[in-house]
């Protein structure tokens, strides 16, 4: 699946039931990417991945969390190369926001913990209409373990 811009509508941001009803790919691409990364790290704790967040520097939308190890990224599309991911994500976001740019920073702490969620302004799992972690864990299981995919 090609990288494309997936952003929640204002209605989806305001209505967690509506947001929840989106297909998994849309749900984990926008609004619950941090839950997906947490599920990935829980599922593969010894794989050497860590949570990283892309934060727009231009005041636009488009924050996104990924699991990163060296040159390997995991997000809603599965595994990919770090530099390819960055290039494709930037191209996709610039198609919606021409001046879009972002910083990529490591996440300190738990990406679904209250400290991170409060500080970064992301929803804590308890703020979703249902517990998103079981859904994220099931989504992660769709993909092979990292060692089978990326050395």
> What is the rounded CA–CA span in Å between residue 40 and residue 107?
14
Rounded to 10°, the helix 33-43/132-140 angle is: 60
Task: Kindly tell me the burial class for residue 139, based on how many C-beta atoms sit within 10 Å of its own C-beta (0-12, 13-18, 19 or more).
Answer: buried
CA dihedral 8, 10, 14, 15 (to 10 degrees): -60
Per-residue confidence of the chain (151 residues) as pLDDT tens digits? 557 778 888 898 889 899 999 999 999 998 899 999 999 999 999 999 999 999 999 788 888 999 999 999 999 999 999 999 999 999 988 988 999 899 999 999 999 999 999 999 999 999 999 999 999 999 999 999 997 555 4
Kindly tell me the sign of the dihedral angle through the C-alpha atoms of 56, 121, 114, 42.
negative
State pTM to two decimals: 0.92
């Amino acid at each position: 699946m090609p990288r494309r811009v997936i952003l929640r509508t204002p209605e989806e941001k305001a209505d967690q039931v509506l947001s929840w009803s989106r297909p998994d790919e849309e749900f984990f691409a926008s609004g619950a990417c941090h839950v997906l990364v947490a599920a990935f790290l829980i599922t593969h704790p010894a794989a050497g991945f860590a949570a990283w967040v892309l934060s727009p520097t231009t005041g636009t939308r488009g924050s996104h969390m990924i699991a990163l190890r060296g040159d390997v990224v995991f997000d809603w599309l599965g595994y990919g190369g770090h530099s390819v991911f960055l290039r494709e994500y930037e191209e996709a976001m610039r198609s919606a926001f021409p001046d879009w740019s972002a910083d990529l920073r490591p996440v300190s702490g738990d990406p679904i913990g209250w400290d991170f969620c409060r500080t970064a302004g992301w929803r804590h799992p308890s703020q979703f209409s249902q517990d998103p972690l079981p859904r994220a864990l099931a989504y992660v299981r769709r993909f092979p373990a990292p060692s089978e995919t990326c050395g």
